[in-house]
Amino acid sequence: MSRSHLIKHPGPPTTPRRHVVSGNAVSFEFVLPKGMTFMTAVAAAMDKAGCDSAVIRLDGLEIGPYDYVMPDRSPDDAHAAWYSQTHSGKTATLTQGTAIVGRRDEAWFLHCHAIWEDPENGRCVGHLLPDQVMIAAAYEGTGYAFHGGCFDVTQDAETNFSFFRPRKLREPDRVNAAIVSLAPHEDLATSVTELIEELDLGEPALLGIGSLIGADFVDAPSMESPISEVLLLNEARGKGAADPYLPMFCVDPDGNFFSGDIVPGGAPVCVTFELLLVST
């Protein structure tokens, strides 16, 4: 059952409901040097890659010290959801992490959700603060470099937040991918299915992070909280005309974890959902 009615944002609905920029995505490798802040290291990697935007995987990255936030209830009527006080850790290793890399005021910026193991605090899930995370060991990672458009931090009247939204920059030489942001109440599985068909991407790899108004899973108990932070797991994939496979990991404001394959119609977007769809 949809839980969309549980969230009402303060502003008028955004149009369109799905912001989509087609372009060319190329697999690339990058290095994050030890001793740099997360943001500085990723910015240097992006300059070297020479692309417009990127989505990178961070599985196995060692960090520390580090700061992060979790989803939380809004303290006022200015927002439908908010984030927690800042939490800190001394050292941790990411089990899985996804970072959307784009621009804020023309400078590199990133949005990262991750799952990690902390020797003192156990398993944690949340939103890593890029300027307040140190790279604890040199890291070699992979991701997709995107050409033709970028994720650009944009003020959104509907939610009263500023967050990534795709912006077209140029016509790419080749199109095999799209960067996407979904507006509140858009159903994740339905949106992905329709986008794959509209963009003719076959059975694309899917990478993405965002927030959901609860979630129903094919193979696990539901997440009832209308406020959350979530990330798609590495195996996520489109299936042509069939329902996509959307394995998801979620955390709610009380620190409860939920994981499973999203049911079509069972995961409306809370604030935003940022995606890369790339044909493989």
> Phi-psi region for residue 251, left (φ > 0), alpha (ψ -120 to 50) or beta?
beta
> Same structural domain for residues 139 and 33?
yes
- DSSP per-residue string spanning 242-255: EEEE-EEEEE-TT-
From 144, 165, 196, the end of a domain falls on 144
Mean of the per-residue pLDDT values of the chain: 97
> Same structural domain for residues 8 and 68?
no
The mean pLDDT of 221-238, rounded to a whole number, is 98
100 close to 79: Cβ distance less than 8 angstroms: no
Q: How many domains does the chain have?
A: 2
> Is pLDDT of 241 > 90?
no
> Is pLDDT of 126 > 80?
yes
The mean pLDDT of 11-40, rounded to a whole number, is 97
Nearest to 83 by CA among 251, 232, 273: 251
> Same structural domain for residues 17 and 57?
no
The predicted model scores a pTM of 0.97
> Same structural domain for residues 186 and 256?
yes
pLDDT digit string (tens) for 148-193? 999 999 999 999 999 999 999 999 889 999 999 999 999 999 999 9
Rounded-to-integer distance, Cα 72 and Cα 83, Å: 4
From 89, 122, 144, the end of a domain falls on 144
Confidence of residue 280 (pLDDT cuts 50, 70, 90): confident
Q: What ranges in 13-65 are assigned the alpha helix state H?
A: 38-49
The mean pLDDT of 19-28, rounded to a whole number, is 98
- Pairing mode, strands 161-168 and 71-72: unpaired
Buried b (16+ CB within 10 A) or exposed e, 125-141: bbbbbbeebbbbeebeb
123 close to 257: Cβ distance less than 8 angstroms: yes
CATH number of the domain to which 189 belongs: 3.30.1330.80
> Same structural domain for residues 180 and 137?
no
> Same structural domain for residues 61 and 112?
yes
Domain span at 242: 4-23+175-278
Counting runs of H as helices and runs of E as strands, what totals does the chain give? Answer: 2, 20
240 close to 255: Cβ distance less than 8 angstroms: no
> Same structural domain for residues 71 and 18?
no
Residue 1: per-residue pLDDT: 62
> Same structural domain for residues 119 and 73?
yes
Does residue 116 belong to any structural domain of this protein? yes
The mean pLDDT of 213-231, rounded to a whole number, is 97
The mean pLDDT of 122-140, rounded to a whole number, is 98
